[in-house]
């Protein structure tokens, strides 16, 4: 769940200043649409860390939890190679949608997986 979806639900959009604001945004959306039952929660990357916090702080709102490409945060997010550090620096400098997508794809998917997903167009 993100701030854009919360805004669309006529909730006050919360900035990405931390996991707490994302949790509050999720709770606000669930309350706004009258969802009193449990949700199936899927989290990818930072969303996985937020999903873990959601499940830990409000287990009564979570039916199941699926995590993809998640670290524990902290020192685990520090790039350990020069190539990873270069990609991370690119993400800090380039705030465009394309720049963020480039960084996300490079960090989360191996070169061999990216190559296997690209096929030539049929003639």
47-56, 68-77, 102-111: the lowest-pLDDT one: 68-77
Q: Are 34 and 27 in contact (CB under 8 A)?
A: no
DSSP the chain: --HHHHHHTTSPPPPSS-HHHHHHHHHHHHHHTT--S-EEEEEETHHHHHHHHHHHH-GGGEEEEEEES----GGGGS--SHHHHHHHHHHHH--SHHHHHHHHHHHHS-HHHHHHH--PPP-
| This prediction's pTM | 0.53
Share of the chain above pLDDT 90, in %: 5
- Strand 39-44 and strand 62-68: pairing? parallel
Q: Are 52 and 70 in contact (CB under 8 A)?
A: yes
At residue 100, the pLDDT reads: 78
Whether residue 122 is predicted with pLDDT greater than 90 in this model: the reply is: no
At residue 63, the pLDDT reads: 93
Confidence bin at 16 (pLDDT 50/70/90): very low
């Amino acid at each position: 769940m993100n701030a854009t979806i919360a805004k669309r639900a006529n909730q006050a959009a919360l900035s990405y200043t931390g996991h707490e604001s994302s949790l509050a945004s999720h709770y606000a959306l669930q309350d706004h649409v009258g969802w009193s039952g449990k949700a199936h929660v899927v989290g990818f990357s930072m969303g996985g860390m937020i999903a873990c916090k959601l499940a830990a702080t409000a287990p009564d709102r979570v039916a199941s939890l699926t995590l993809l490409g998640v670290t524990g945060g902290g020192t685990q997010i520090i790039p350990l190679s020069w190539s990873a550090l270069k990609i991370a620096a690119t993400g800090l400098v380039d705030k465009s949608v394309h720049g963020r997508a480039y960084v996300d794809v490079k960090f989360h998917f191996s070169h061999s997986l990216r190559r296997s997903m690209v096929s030539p167009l049929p003639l």
